[in-house]
Chains A and B, each alone.
Chain A
Amino acid sequence: MSDDSKLHRLVEEGKRGEIAAYHAIYKEFGARIFNFLFRVLSSREDAEDVTQQTFLIVFRQLGTLRDPTQLESWIYRIARNEVYQRFRKKKVGSLDDEEINGDVRGLEEHSLYAQPEKLLLNEELRQVLQAVLDGLPVKLREVFVLAAVQGMSYQAITEVVGRSLLSVKTDIYRARLQVKEELRKYLGEGFGSTVKAETK
């Protein structure tokens, strides 16, 4: 069965309220949405809450989804809306398009200049990576996570964030540049050579 027909079947069954279909949809997209939310919200608890809220909205409103092939970007859009609502409620995080928050929270606490290879995958590096992401405005953070971390195509990202392709390209580039500069401070210049190549 192709992915499209599988999605069609799941969506149709979900529209009839079948909980097995809901579970299958959650298993298909739950982990990716959770990771996206964790990266953007920088909190496991918040990511859990928003993931739960996102899927509840998805299941409640599944009847309104006309094209099942759009299911993934639709779920991401709902998750993203929930993120923005959460930021508005908490009044934390910059939603300003132009504001670049240069103050990378918590980085000063880490002494990570030396021996970057030893830092890989340890808790300190995890904190630095997340702090660097937190230093980005949400607008840049979300597209960076979608493109660089989750490997989503630029076209798909435009559907999620509702901006033009040019705007998305520019934001990804700006985010990547800023993350690179921040990581250079802590991992040293040329850290690209010290980070192990991906094994696939």
Chain B
Amino acid sequence: MTRHLTEDMISQWVDRELDSRQAAKVEAHLKGCETCQAVEKEMSALGRLYRTEEALEPPPYLWTRIAAQIREESREEKRAFFGIGWLLPRAGLQQPAWMRISVWAPAAVLLVVISSTIAIMHYQAAARAQSAAIAEIDRAHSALTALNTKTYNPFHESTAMDTGANPFAQSPLRDQPNPFRNPQDRP
């Protein structure tokens, strides 16, 4: 026997990782070399020693714990976004992490919906009041115009002293008799 096998090669032989040509070469060498046989035995024994304890079984409650967690997550997904979160995995899509925040996400949506509804209702009420005011002004304008087309000037800026601006006056006050004066007291 000329040279011993390298431990690297024996390691690969033990793991059955050599190709058939190399494996045949190692096998032939091992048959006639006690030194390499001893190394091979030790290397093989390592795996056997650890595998002897490979009978470790995970405890039965481990699956129970995993299954309970899956069911809990599944329930949360169903709640998330009113069922959309539950549909995603079934459509072959991965549920984004933010959707798993199933408590906050629907609450946020609800908040947006409520505040939007209030804002829209407020806007609609303001619009209705504005329309009613404009209609009332139009109605008053039409009525006053019809009452006195000559004296009524909607563009005239009236003052307290400006009796002429009184759209209800039939004529200027100076032309009317003073109701507080005795007609016989005329100067």
Contact = CB atoms under 8 A, between A and B. Distances in A.
Interface residue tally on B, bucketed by range: 35 or more
Interface string B19-63: 000000000000000000011111111111111111011110011
A130 B133 CA distance: 89
Contacts of A94: none
A191 B42 contact: yes
Contacts of B41: 190, 192-193
Interface residues of A, number: 54
B6 to A, nearest CB: 9
Interface stretch (B68-76, B140-148, B154-162): B68-76
A179 B45 CA distance: 11
B102 interface: no
B83 interface: no
A149 B51 contact: yes
B8 to A, nearest CB: 5
A60 B56 CA distance: 26
A192 B62 contact: no
A26 B66 contact: yes
Given A129-B53, A169-B12, A17 B89 contact: yes
17 contacts: A22-B66, A30-B62, A34-B56, A55-B66, A60-B73, A61-B94, A63-B89, A129-B53, A147-B15, A148-B15, A154-B15, A154-B17, A172-B11, A173-B7, A173-B12, A176-B46, A192-B38
Interface of B: 7-8, 11-12, 14-15, 17, 38-54, 56-59, 62-63, 65-67, 69-71, 73-74, 89-90, 92-95
